Amino acid sequence: MSQLQQITVLGATGSIGLSTLGVIARHPERYQVFALTGFSRLRELEQLCLKHCPQFAVTADEHSAAQLQGALRAAGLSTQVLAGAEALCEVSAHPDVDAVMAAIVGAAGLQPTLAAVEAGKKVLLANKEALVMSGDLFIQAVRRSGAVLLPIDSEHNAIFQCLPGDYARGLGAVGVRRILLTASGGPFRETPLAELEQVSPEQACAHPNWSMGRKISVDSASMMNKGLELIEACWLFDAKPPQVEVVIHPQSVIHSLVDYVDGSVLAQLGNPDMRTPIAHALAWPQRIDSGVAPLDLFAVARLDFQRPDEQRFPCLRLARQAAEAGGSAPALLNAANEVAVAAFLERRIRFPEIARIIDEVLNSEASTAVESLGAVLAADARARALAGEWLNRHGR
């Protein structure tokens, strides 16, 4: 039997997708790319196909698929190019696939990620929005199918590394008191509050420590990213929201910590480079080279910690509120945030209006139980409609 693992990379043209392919390329004896997907940036997707020779590529629509198919055929590749959301699910659940990197951004990643989970794959989860939206349904599907879910988000990957192997018995049972979720505080950690009304998308996307896609960069600036991660941590580690404390740590060297009842606190450290959690999850339970430079503690010199200010970062409060409410509230929060962030990136609203939109959506739409994927998608659609109405009333 071949030892080569077949990998599907959903969102291959994005920041996480490219980092994943970088790690995979260092280990051709272990990994083979089975499928690559991309929504835009067709030229980049073509280049990636030429380099990794996948069996399948998936684009947004028939037109772009035909274009890519033509280019790949002309280059002598046998890659089959498919189009659309159903094809994303097909290449995730395909019987030949061993592991799926879920690195599509936002709600668009939910169904292909769930398809990988339901097919019992090893699922490397970067697409936190998928888990935030569908929470319990997602985790139940993991249990049912026997999928192996490994967190790629650096914080959750760190927590996973600091927990004992049998943490699924329950945090209390393995002696965990709380989880300390670190946050850089983003580019506006010290910006005078009044100036936040004027900040631009470029400023919001200029993250001090991490280079990431635009949506997650804005989420980091508003700290909604940490709010989504709080909800993500609750589902991944079966924690209650009060068991997860957010700690601002501007150097982004400690990627999170676990506090045990005996007073021990375990942390995972490393340079802020996503190739570390990606390599960890790809090879788990083994370790492989990721290409990340060794951590130089003498260069880091100091580690600082601060309590987050919820006046400055209202999104953190809103996310905690949604985590406590449960049901459809996290899906509403996520969808309202996606609409608001897109509007901010298009300069239709000011930065602090992101939180105002989410607040209004959460206040006007009661949380309901979510017992099916249909209910999750309905909550997502309602929140998008409400946020859209807000934009029509107040947006530019």
CA 255 to each of CA 76, 184, 261, 266: distance values in angstroms, whole numbers, following the listed order: 43, 10, 21, 11
Q: Which stretch binds Mg ion (CB under 5 A): 42-50, 89-97, 153-161, 277-285?
A: 153-161
Residue 127 touches ligand NAD, criterion: CB under 6 A = yes
Task: CB nearer to ligand NAD: give 105 or 179.
Answer: 105
124 binds, among ligand NAD, Mg ion, none (CB under 5 to 8 A by kind): none
Neighbours of 155 (CB within 10 A): 27
Least CB distance from residue 354 to ligand NAD, whole Å? 15
Task: CB nearer to Mg ion: give 8 or 154.
Answer: 154
Least CB distance from residue 11 to ligand NAD, whole Å? 3
Task: CB nearer to Mg ion: give 54 or 227.
Answer: 227
**Stated length of the chain:** 396
200 binds, among Mg ion, ligand NAD, none (CB under 5 to 8 A by kind): none
Least CB distance from residue 86 to Mg ion, whole Å? 29
Q: Does 155 appear as a known binding residue? A: yes
Least CB distance from residue 30 to ligand NAD, whole Å? 22
Residue 153 touches Mg ion, criterion: CB under 5 A = yes
Q: Which stretch binds ligand NAD (CB under 6 A): 11-19, 75-83, 176-184, 290-298?
A: 11-19
Q: Does 166 appear as a known binding residue? A: no
Q: What is the 3-state secondary structure (H, E, C) of the chain?
A: CCCCEEEEEECCCCHHHHHHHHHHHCCCCCEEEEEEECCCCHHHHHHHHHHHCCCEEEECCHHHHHHHHHHHHHCCCCCEEEECHHHHHHHHHCCCCCEEEECCCCHHHHHHHHHHHHCCCEEEECCHHHHHHHHHHHHHHHHHHCCEEEECCHHHHHHHHHCCCCHHHCCCCCCEEEEEEEECCCCCCCCCHHHHHHCCHHHHHCCCCCCCCHHHHHHHHHCHHHHHHHHHHHHHHCCCHHHEEEEECCCCCEEEEEEECCCCEEEEECCCCCHHHHHHHHHCCCCCCCCCCCCCHHHHCCCCCECCCCCCCHHHHHHHHHHHHCCCHHHHHHHHHHHHHHHHHCCCCCCCHHHHHHHHHHHHCCCCCCCCHHHHHHHHHHHHHHHHHHHHHHCC
Residue 39 touches ligand NAD, criterion: CB under 6 A = yes
User: In this chain, which of 6, 7, 8, 15 binds ligand NAD, going by CB under 6 A?
Assistant: 15
Least CB distance from residue 3 to Mg ion, whole Å? 31
Q: Scanning residues 150 to 189, which ones bind ligand NAD (CB under 6 A)?
A: 153
Q: Does 13 appear as a known binding residue? A: yes
Radius of gyration of the chain (CA): 20
Least CB distance from residue 152 to ligand NAD, whole Å? 6
Q: Does 220 appear as a known binding residue? A: yes
Least CB distance from residue 132 to ligand NAD, whole Å? 10
Task: CB nearer to ligand NAD: give 128 or 382.
Answer: 128
Q: Which stretch binds Mg ion (CB under 5 A): 67-75, 154-162, 261-269, 311-319?
A: 154-162
Q: Scanning residues 81 to 120, which ones bind ligand NAD (CB under 6 A)?
A: 103-105, 108
Q: Does 16 appear as a known binding residue? A: yes
Could you identify the residue written with the tokens 């983003």? 186
User: In this chain, which of 16, 163, 349, 357 binds ligand NAD, going by CB under 6 A?
Assistant: 16
User: In this chain, which of 119, 177, 210, 245 binds ligand NAD, going by CB under 6 A?
Assistant: 210
SS3 306: strand
Residue 14 touches ligand NAD, criterion: CB under 6 A = yes
Interface residues with ligand NAD (CB under 6 A) are 11-17, 38-40, 103-105, 108, 126-129, 153, 210, 212-213, 215-216, 274
